[in-house]
Structure 1
Amino acid sequence: MSSSDTVRFRHNQAILAAAIIAFIGALPLAGARWYLLPVLLVPLAVGVWAWRAGTDVDARELRLRALVGQRRISWDRVVELAPDARGRAVARLDDGQAVLLPAVRGADLPRLVEATGQTLPDAAG
């Protein structure tokens, strides 16, 4: 795997479909009165979040993307990758901070590590 390869973890796209349906369903309500127009912003924001939010991984860094903005974490700052009690993936940093990895489940950790070009130790041996 070359260093330019990036693995993207995203939330289920059913969230985006639900946001589109909610937006269409809110159109009659928003069209009824001018002061109800901001109701359309809620499904629009959920749709943009579902499309954008997640974690991008390559050999250099983790990139955590949110609705607005992103955070880059270099691999040399990551001390540990582990699932939490709810099955979500968490990265523990060298300063003791635990960072939740958006859209990454604990079961995705082997694929995440593989994207770095590293290998996991064999559990059988």
Structure 2
Amino acid sequence: MAGVATARMRMSRVALLPVLVFAACTLPVAAAAWWGPVVLLLPALAAAWVLRVGVDVGPAGITPRTLLPGSTVPWDEVAGLRVGEGQELYVVRTAGTETKLPVVRARDLPRLAALSGGRIPDPTA
């Protein structure tokens, strides 16, 4: 799989619309007090979360992306996937530990399987 680019699974950019409404709602507070501009950090953080959080799948492995830096789970350490109670997905490592995959749900398993290049079996096949 040398030369294959990393595929990204991210939240829909439509999720920025509520963030824009939230930013508009914080403007009166930001203009009313001397400490108000600090309130504008909340919509900025929400926008950063929408744009950053997701999963990268590439030749090196699976990389969960959050606002904070994370680490890649190499393919040789992937024992499988686990579906949680809320349909969230977890990567189960060969050591027995789990890493949550943000934004990705059980309904995304066929797409995740396709992006993995056959390393993750497609449950619908």
**Match of 1:56, as an amino acid?**
D
Runs of at least 4 residues off by over 4 Å: 121-124
2:97: which partner in 1? 97
Q: Is the 8 A contact 1:3 1:60 kept in 2?
A: no
% identical aligned pairs: 30
1:16: which partner in 2? 16
Task: Name the CA shift for 1:121/1:41 in 2 (closer, same or farther; >3 Å).
Answer: closer
Structure 1 unaligned regions, length at least 5: none
Matches within 5 A, 1:100-119: 100-118=100-118
Shift of 1:68: 2.7
Shift of 1:85: 1.7
Matches within 5 A, 1:44-123: 44-118=44-118, 120=121
1:28: which partner in 2? 28
TM-score (norm 1): 0.85
**Match of 1:8, as an amino acid?**
R
SS of the equivalent of 1:96 reads coil
Task: Name the CA shift for 1:121/1:43 in 2 (closer, same or farther; >3 Å).
Answer: closer
Shift of 1:75: 1.0
Residue correspondences, number: 124
Task: Name the CA shift for 1:122/1:79 in 2 (closer, same or farther; >3 Å).
Answer: closer
Shift of 1:14: 3.4
Q: Which range moved further: 70-79 or 5-14?
A: 5-14
SS of the equivalent of 1:86 reads coil
Shift of 1:80: 0.9
Q: For 2:104 and 2:77, locate their aligned partners in 1 and report how far apart those are by CA, in whole Å.
A: 18
TM-score (norm 2): 0.85
